[in-house]
Structure 1
């Protein structure tokens, strides 16, 4: 079961020829979830082949580089004869503004567009086998929040060798045991699931901060995320500018990742100051990060999020 992230826009407030404004798409079990929707997101989706079958859009805050792609995306979906509804989730105070974006220029989509406000510390989506949680972030002049996608625990591993030793015949009873159901053998012996099934295994989880200063809530949103996508607009030399504008440096992002126990750190919202070379951002984070890898994704990069217990 795959979970793949496509980075559609990794730039800061001012787009460059290499980096579009903020947007990335998560595909899980065929379901597509879009996080932020900066200007030109629909074109990035076409360019990088993600498809348009998006069920939910999660907006971190209302600054233009995170939402100005919504009118174009909605109208393109309409032009492609979309009938299925789409849900847009945003922070407190965003509902009216998001509706205005959907209906920009007096446009009225012919398919349902449902806009929801969600408070930080809540659940934006209770999905099939996962949930998208919200957490408070800190960004200048904005009601903002981040999102954490957390999968349910998976069943423990089935010990076939042990089952056979206990006399369970190969066949349907294996599946019943793995599903948590006791089975009775021909001699009347009852085999309980815990005799042949290991402890539950964690699902995958990732955290996205959107634009934010380093905040404790990002650490608490999901323990030990497999991927943390964090604001890293500036390098340490612009630390004061980061504080003034409500952003983070690459080092600060790495420190949050360490505190959260993140395995991997993706650095996004890269300032146009680094249009020619984002290497300093990546190097700064790598020097401070204790996890497996820290990287600055280019637009169009895809990343498969593995299970925590996947063999390496």
Structure 2
């Protein structure tokens, strides 16, 4: 997985922080998580073609997470997109997209498939290599966190297959795909030549939320947890009042969930930089970084998380 933070600000953007959005490349798909105002400009700066976006996942319907949708949808139409665009989000997302289709004068020649999430902690998308789940968090309106989970195929035990008399070739491929074969009148099952299931990498993105026990469960043992941390501890009461998390509480969640890397985001515009919040979190969970716009994260199995910050000129 490779992801880039397109925006890391909360309600009001700043000169150095755009409204919230993350672009993720996972296997053959390119997806957006949230789509704040200015996202399509940030996509260009990140050198990602908007035409390659397959899916958009919206955590909740506050403006700083959705106001980039009209621009993206219209720009894709102007560029001549023909293949469908999938948009996932909480109840109300269908009505929102219908309004966007009528906003301004333009023609959409591609299908927008809107998926309204109503089930909690269930798979909302799956293909051979990865799946995505949604879990309801607690904000001032309905908000969903998302988990991206790699599906690793069991290891093929080649020596065992040869021992059973299976010749290398197409029969190996069938067994690897989970299809039983018949050889010399004897059925051979995939589990006879496959090792135990392997753990794939996992990533969780919180959206906006107050600290939740559900997040500890949802993010258990993930490689990377991206958690909102809008305020430092001096504004804890304000954070709870507005449905947000302070950096220290996000760090406690990361520690209790046994995650490998915590990345904080959604900075209030009252801060000129994120150092105070990052330092507070590191007192509890050392492996913490506060996200910056255009920061890229590379996530691989059995390797440390690679964090690349953009060099601003």
- TM above 0.5, yes or no, is yes
The more displaced of 124-133 and 171-180 is 171-180
Partner of 1:224: 221
1:42 match: secondary structure: helix
**Considering only aligned residues, what root-mean-square deviation do their CA atoms show, in Å?**
2.8
TM-score, normalized by length of structure 2? 0.85
Partner of 1:85: 84
Q: Deviations over 1:18-75 (max 9, x none)?
A: 1100000111113111110000000000011121111111111111100000011111
Partner of 1:281: 277
Q: Conserved in 2, the CA contact under 8 Å of 1:230 and 1:268?
A: yes
Q: Conserved in 2, the CA contact under 8 Å of 1:119 and 1:134?
A: no
Partner of 1:215: 212
Q: 1:42 to 1:171 in 2, by over 3 A?
A: same
The more displaced of 170-179 and 23-32 is 170-179
1:20 match: secondary structure: coil
Q: Conserved in 1, the CA contact under 8 Å of 2:251 and 2:282?
A: yes
- 1:261 equivalent to 2:268? Answer no
Partner of 1:124: 124
Partner of 2:55: 56
The more displaced of 118-127 and 171-180 is 171-180
Unaligned residue ranges in structure 2 (runs of 5+) = 306-313
- 1:245 equivalent to 2:242? Answer yes
Q: Conserved in 2, the CA contact under 8 Å of 1:154 and 1:203?
A: no
- 1:69 equivalent to 2:65? Answer no
Deviation at 1:196, TM superposition (A): 6.0
Q: 1:157-196 residue pairs with structure 2 within 5 A?
A: 158=156, 163=160, 166=163, 171-172=168-169, 178=176
Distance 2:105 2:188 in 1: 65
The more displaced of 48-57 and 33-42 is 48-57
Q: 1:281 to 1:85 in 2, by over 3 A?
A: same
Q: 1:32 aligns with which of 27, 30, 33?
A: 30
Partner of 1:147: 146
The more displaced of 163-172 and 252-261 is 163-172
Q: Conserved in 1, the CA contact under 8 Å of 2:87 and 2:112?
A: yes
Distance 1:179 1:240 in 2: 53
Deviation at 1:189, TM superposition (A): 11
Deviation at 1:129, TM superposition (A): 2.8
Q: Conserved in 2, the CA contact under 8 Å of 1:125 and 1:133?
A: yes
Q: 1:194 to 1:85 in 2, by over 3 A?
A: closer
Distance 2:43 2:69 in 1: 13
Partner of 2:114: 115
TM-score, normalized by length of structure 1? 0.86
- 1:17 equivalent to 2:11? Answer no
Q: Which structure has more strand as a fraction of its residues? A: 2
